[in-house]
Structure 1
Amino acid sequence: MDQVFDLFDNLGATDEQLDFKVVYASALNGWATNEEGEIGESMEPLFETIVEEVSAPQVDQDGDLQMQISQLDYSSYVGVIGVGRVTRGTVKPNQQVTVVGSDGKTRNGKVGTVLGYLGLERHEVDQAAAGDIIAITGLGELKISDTICSQNNVEALPALSVDEPTVTMTFQVNTSPFAGKEGKFVTSRNILERLEKELVHNVALRVEQLDDPDKFRVSGRGELHLSILIENMRREGFELAVSRPEVILKEEDGQLMEPYETVTIDVLEEHQGGIMENIGLRKGELTDMAPDGKGRVRMDFVMPSRGLIGFQTEFMTLTSGSGLLYHTFDHYGPHKGGEIGQRINGVLISNGMGKALTNALFNLQERGRMFIGHGVEVYEGMVVGIHSRDNDLTVNVLKGKQLTNVRASGTDDAQVLTPPIIMTLEQALEFIDDDELVEVTPESIRIRKKFLTESDRKRASRAAK
């Protein structure tokens, strides 16, 4: 408990926050107790503490109905489901209400069912009162920030602000030689239906059909926002290929503009220099710095959104996992030019399809670090490692050892492979260059060139010049 107290203190907690009550609990075994070392019989001590210590919501129980939609869900049976907290009055099934949009337009409707929450499960209730978080159906196409109120007292709550997308990526059908082997949903229609379903409740997302019917431009609040969507699709059985994240640029009065973000960083003082140097290379500018006198320092920066692409992993490495990072969209400003966070090294590219062999990988280790191990299936155009130099190199990872019938007096030296680099989805998205794609399947994350054959890559390179 002393360590928890010190952590709160180091993070700037107030005296009131430091005077916290402690409940010892095991969620896995379903018990809680107020005494250290004891094993409880139920979760009642935790629930009682919440009731005693947490302030009740500031709501009006007796006024006319008013609630705001803060989240959306969808059911093929009942349609759009609106989720929000009742801030005033009560709501019942079949009640006549007025829906006020964020644009001020109103329409009348009738509540279908009112669903309360018991843990993570929803269940129908006869009535919900002010302070309750509920889900309601029957009101058609609801949107985030809509206010649902009594027809006798139409009063909209302040609109919720939703940040505009700043980062975009291309989602496309997987066209690699391994397409369709590991996923259930592989067609452009499958991908489009899934993205349209996501749009219902993911209000910061934008989806645009490109000229190629197999490609979609998907824009969001950042690479993390989009990588969460990709990971969810992957776990649901989708196969797709995605491009490198890019910021959304605008042109105003003939000048190219790019998005800037306010970045707040809280780190140990010993990590301050490395963080400031790294952000400086990403064209960030320090606007405020405040040491807390307890070994930590808080810094505020304004930096281009493209400088944040790939920064999360570096930040975790520089701070050994002890740093706190928060960023939010600030404004569009003049484009600073140049490249930020681009990869310095080239890559090793497979020149054929088959299983990678130890002999080939062993001989290639002096050329760079490998992404694959012995026996991994590869195809032509697949990225199998990172080159130690700045150019791409096409290599043969299928080459076995030459065997003869001549006996040797001794034995061959054992070929020991360096463990391969295994990338997560976020790391792969940060790593790839503009001419590469991340192939995402339920079982694998591979990096590949957009053009799989070497001749096609050379032709595309000449055309770009």
Structure 2
Amino acid sequence: DVKINVMDTPGHADFGGEVERVLSMADGVLLVVDSVEGPKPQTRFVLDKALKKGMKALVVVNKIDRPAARPDYVVDKCFDLFVELDATDVQTDFTVVYASGIQGKAGLDPEALDDDLGVLFDAIMTSIDAPTVATVATDDLQALVANIDVDEYKGKMGIARITNGSVKNGMQVSLVHPDKTKQTGRISNLFVFDNLGKREVESAEAGEIIMFTGLDAVEIGDTLVTNEAGGANAADPLPPIA
């Protein structure tokens, strides 16, 4: 089985920090555009960020059921935008999926949609590279904290993508701040995201996006690492984000 985490991101430059945080947890992007209007001005900002990170994009022409839909025009406008943003040859060779979100249909031909979104998920798996991470459980943990949430009962909750190693519920870990100072603690609750909610788990491995509690000092940009680990990566903070 393949798990796909889908994250939404703001499309406006005023939310640049949040865009950076979401992209730090992503492997690629879905550029969803209207079948009539095509790319909007704010589309440029997020796409530029993603392309500069070397990400591939999958173009989804949505609302293809609209009477005024003009898919060829919209795809041409998307290509022009990629070129204007200095996309590589690989990035400009993007896959296009046509869809009607309200009908739950998608296809590779605007005139022949399937009755489900299977084509879209297949395109994600073939067009966007899987995470290039180590999955050996003995590797030292590295997970970049990209967001913070607060629960009325559980307190501060960190949201992070595991870049290396694995983490377990109840595990002793260290938080390495961007200035390389460290604070230690224990994971009290460990969650992964499942459909529109989250599910508590006993462990998670590299490539997974997790939510955890027990470390009230956690801040965006911190790196979660194995406590007192002996490996070369043990106390190395990952590149900070805004």
TM range (shorter): 0.5 to 0.7
Q: Secondary structure at the match of 1:155?
A: coil
Q: Paired residue for 2:208, among 109, 122, 132?
A: 132
Letter in 2 for 1:100: V
Q: Which residue of 1 aligns with 2:77?
A: 7
Q: Secondary structure at the match of 1:74?
A: strand
After the TM superposition, which segments of 4 or more aligned residues of structure 1 sit over 3 Å from their partners?
none
CA contact (8 A) 2:144 2:238 kept: no
Q: 2: CA distance between counterparts of 1:78 and 1:144? A: 18
Q: 2: CA distance between counterparts of 1:82 and 1:71? A: 6
Aligned pairs for 1:162-311 (under 5 A) are: 162=242
Q: 2: CA distance between counterparts of 1:25 and 1:125? A: 34
CA contact (8 A) 1:67 1:85 kept: yes
Q: Measured at CA, do residues 126 and 31 of structure 1 come closer, stay the same or move farther in structure 2, by a change above 3 Å?
A: farther
TM-aligned CA deviation for residue 111 of structure 1:
0.8
Q: Paired residue for 1:102, among 136, 159, 178?
A: 178
RMSD of Structure 2 on Structure 1 (CA): 2.0
Q: 2: CA distance between counterparts of 1:61 and 1:94? A: 20
CA contact (8 A) 1:5 1:18 kept: no
Q: 1: CA distance between counterparts of 2:119 and 2:217? A: 42
Q: 2: CA distance between counterparts of 1:81 and 1:90? A: 18
Q: Secondary structure at the match of 2:133?
A: coil
CA contact (8 A) 1:68 1:145 kept: yes
Q: Measured at CA, do residues 6 and 45 of structure 1 come closer, stay the same or move farther in structure 2, by a change above 3 Å?
A: closer
Do structure 1's residue 90 and structure 2's residue 160 form an aligned pair? Answer: no
CA contact (8 A) 1:99 1:149 kept: yes
Q: Measured at CA, do residues 21 and 104 of structure 1 come closer, stay the same or move farther in structure 2, by a change above 3 Å?
A: closer
Q: Once the two structures are superposed, what CA deviation does each residue of 1:409-447 show, in whole Å capped at 9, x if it has no partner?
A: xxxxxxxxxxxxxxxxxxxxxxxxxxxxxxxxxxxxxxx
Aligned pairs for 1:348-387 (under 5 A) are: none
Do structure 1's residue 26 and structure 2's residue 100 form an aligned pair? Answer: yes
Q: 2: CA distance between counterparts of 1:115 and 1:41? A: 33
Q: Secondary structure at the match of 2:134?
A: coil
CA contact (8 A) 2:168 2:190 kept: yes
Structure 1 residues not aligned, in runs of 5+: 163-465
TM-aligned CA deviation for residue 15 of structure 1:
3.3
Q: Secondary structure at the match of 1:52?
A: helix
Q: Once the two structures are superposed, what CA deviation does each residue of 1:383-405 show, in whole Å capped at 9, x if it has no partner?
A: xxxxxxxxxxxxxxxxxxxxxxx
Q: Secondary structure at the match of 1:115?
A: strand
Q: Which residue of 2 aligns with 1:156?
A: 236
TM-aligned CA deviation for residue 159 of structure 1:
4.6
Report how many aligned residue pairs link the two structures.
162
Q: Once the two structures are superposed, what CA deviation does each residue of 1:43-94 show, in whole Å capped at 9, x if it has no partner?
A: 2211111111101122111221110111111111100010111000111211
Aligned pairs for 1:61-72 (under 5 A) are: 61-62=135-136, 63-72=139-148
Letter in 2 for 1:91: V
Q: Which has the larger radius of gyration?
A: 1
Q: Secondary structure at the match of 1:42?
A: coil
TM-aligned CA deviation for residue 100 of structure 1:
1.5
CA contact (8 A) 2:180 2:237 kept: no
Q: Measured at CA, do residues 117 and 107 of structure 1 come closer, stay the same or move farther in structure 2, by a change above 3 Å?
A: same
Q: Which residue of 2 aligns with 1:37?
A: 111
CA contact (8 A) 2:133 2:206 kept: yes
Letter in 2 for 1:33: G
Q: Measured at CA, do residues 161 and 128 of structure 1 come closer, stay the same or move farther in structure 2, by a change above 3 Å?
A: closer
TM-score (ref. length: structure 2):
0.61
Q: Measured at CA, do residues 6 and 33 of structure 1 come closer, stay the same or move farther in structure 2, by a change above 3 Å?
A: closer
Q: Paired residue for 1:47, among 107, 117, 121?
A: 121
Letter in 2 for 1:3: Y
Q: 2: CA distance between counterparts of 1:161 and 1:90? A: 22
Q: Secondary structure at the match of 2:192?
A: strand
Q: Secondary structure at the match of 2:159?
A: strand
Q: Secondary structure at the match of 2:112?
A: coil
Q: Secondary structure at the match of 2:106?
A: strand
CA contact (8 A) 2:177 2:237 kept: no
Q: Secondary structure at the match of 2:129?
A: coil
Q: 1: CA distance between counterparts of 2:211 and 2:160? A: 7
Q: 2: CA distance between counterparts of 1:5 and 1:14? A: 17
Letter in 2 for 1:10: D
Q: Name the % identity.
A: 33
TM-aligned CA deviation for residue 5 of structure 1:
3.5
TM-aligned CA deviation for residue 4 of structure 1:
2.8
Q: Secondary structure at the match of 1:135?
A: strand
TM-score (ref. length: structure 1):
0.33
Q: 2: CA distance between counterparts of 1:28 and 1:92? A: 39
Letter in 2 for 1:51: M
Q: Measured at CA, do residues 159 and 49 of structure 1 come closer, stay the same or move farther in structure 2, by a change above 3 Å?
A: closer
